[in-house]
Structure 1
Amino acid sequence: MTTTTPTTEGTWQRRFGDSIMKSLSTPKVMLERGEGCQVWDVEGKRYLDFLAGIAVNALGHAHPVLVEAVSKQAATLIHVSNYFATPSQVELAERLKAISGAGEQGRVYYGNSGAEANEAAFKLLRLNKGPDGTKTRILALQSSFHGRTMGALALTGKPALREPFEPMLPGVEHIDTTIEALEHSIDDRVAGIIIEPIKGEAGVVDLPEGFLQAARELTAKHGALLILDEIQTGIGRTGTWFSFQQFGIVPDAITVAKGIAGGIPIGALVTFGDTSDLFEAGQHGSTFGGNPFATSAANAVLGEIESAGLVENARVRGEQIRAAITAIASPHVKEVRGRGLLIGVGLHEPIANEISARCLEAGLIVNAANDSSIRIAPPLIVGDSEIAEFTEIFTSVLKGLA
């Protein structure tokens, strides 16, 4: 069988539609290379990447530290299965325990994605049955997103995503994102609750003030687990290693993925304290989870984030971008949300898709998280020149709207 390099938009889009499952819509652009905060399509057009693969490319594209790490590991050892340990597997677990504050009692389970990490979290919640087995209720939030595999989908608070695949796994209840709903819902029958510190897929929506603290207090009171989905908010993106570290609480577990390895697939469940004792040998596993290729990449990415001061850069640059958007004073912009380099632009009208399309045409990649929200999540390496270019394009697009 021979293949040909796509040379025109019509050619590659036709081939995509003829070959890729219909669960994915045909994209508008085919990208073929990247460097730093820039990518180029197959026609040679350059784009400023302010989405980073949906908060994945923490070091941008083709970062020399990551390139060297994966090249070296690929030439050494890629996969051995979980019948064997590898140095990078243990090193990464120790790193995750350290930066999360999980400490000596903390433990790490590896998967290959955020959805897999949340599947492990679902099982962890099921194991917290209590001594009499009556803890059978699992809570999640309305409009939340935790993944598209069946367990993660059951946790996801978006009925439109769940309905085609019902019946869902039983026992999950979705509640409003209010302290009153927490107080009404959490009792001694609750095994736990899973929460995104910022609702990314809902449009980068911040939780109400005091919400996480109330969730921690109530879950501790009733012997329920507090699990935080840090898949989009973690690994420095919100200006601390993990978003929960800004709220003065300690969860029972967190799930991590996206930026952890800069684009190499990996996910993790990190447990704290006695929660680490819930899983027993053989109760969960993954053939590819924690392989030396992915864990070496993650160690390189975490090391570079630390040595280059990128957690602080995310905080500072995030403030800079939010200030720049606010200064545009567009009548279309209702509010600017989020923390660090996870930013949501709330709009007065359902024009997010139009804005995203116009930005793409102008050479800027952002994302319409929903009809009235733009999501901005550039690489953690973003600097003054990239922010200046973003501001110029975004201003032009907003001012060009009717």
Structure 2
Amino acid sequence: MISTLGLLWSTVGGSLAGYVFTRIVGRQQSSLTSSVNTIEILVAAHNEEKVIGYTLRSLQAAVERFVATHGKGVGLKITVGLDHCTDATLRVVEDFARTTRVPVATIENPGKAGKWNVLNLLARQSKADWVAFVDSGSLWEPELLVEAFASMSDGSVIGVAPSYSTSTGGRLEQLNWGLEQSLKRLENHSGGPVSVHGASVLYRREPLLLALAELNGTLWLNDDVVLPLTLRLQNPDKRIVYMIHASKPAFVGDCGVRSELAVEYRRRRRMVVGNLQWIQNKFLTSHRRNFGVTLIASRRVARMLWAYWALGLGASAVFALLEILNRAGFTSVERAVCAAVLGLGTMVLFAASNWIRRLAMAFLSGLQVPRLWRSLSKEEGGVSWV
């Protein structure tokens, strides 16, 4: 029962509760227009020689489509933040810069390594009205900037979060991304999501800098949650708009390069620790500032415990199956054979499906939540940025 409720809240429950609360209580909303004169696309890079070229070319296509649609009245620039790269990332960026008309710059992170530090450096050096944080390996649809511009020109909007979908997942993963898009679209009616797809997100720079100032002093690991959550709490009359593509799976995809299992596990563990960070430091007191935002964020909290919800449901299903087999007259040997076949099938899926392997890494990381909660300060320093 608890596992079922946990899974329901981690999917539709939190978003629906936030929507109902907003409908009952209402929310402040400004309706000012705002001119957009400059947009800077900021790409964080740490040893990304294999994928950053794909990302830059997709950004170039989006910029060219925007210029063809809106003319040259808006200044556009790409800046790559190099985080202690030891491979050929810089050379790839320089080669790209020589072949494009889009202004391209690079900036080295002189301080401590880490994505959060690079994002801070990139945002603070920018003079643009809007900035886009883009992960290396992300691919933009050419029409992304064109579609986002209307929201960016709305003075009540402080962030635009394009939809995201992977190219390497199977049908189940695509269904998961589709569900996530539907829930975030529902959250649009409550002022927008408090967690976004970190692969690409656009922010109005002035409120972003205020959010970064509040978050200063901590090496945050999940910028895709802590930034929109802080922005929503600081700006109750402003919105973050989640943007869904009308005819394609998403506005942002990936280049299809698969991570090794060890890298995937570290990435998932970093996400768990990052979630625990904002829960401890933001979520537990967020209800004092905006209860509607707290309800939406609670979906992410419940989702962080999904491994335990799934474990509970899985154990219940196994016990139910064994009881059915027992009542059907199966002997203990026959029941053991059925269990062995089930286990073998799981192993085959693990070996054959990249998505199942990544799901397994997420599951194993999720099981560590209680331990990481108790030792967050020690674990934080040991989690890789990769």
TM-score normalised by structure 1 residue count: 0.23
Question: Is the radius of gyration larger for structure 1 or structure 2?
Answer: 2
Which one has the bigger strand percentage? 1
TM-score normalised by structure 2 residue count: 0.24
Which one has the bigger helix percentage? 2
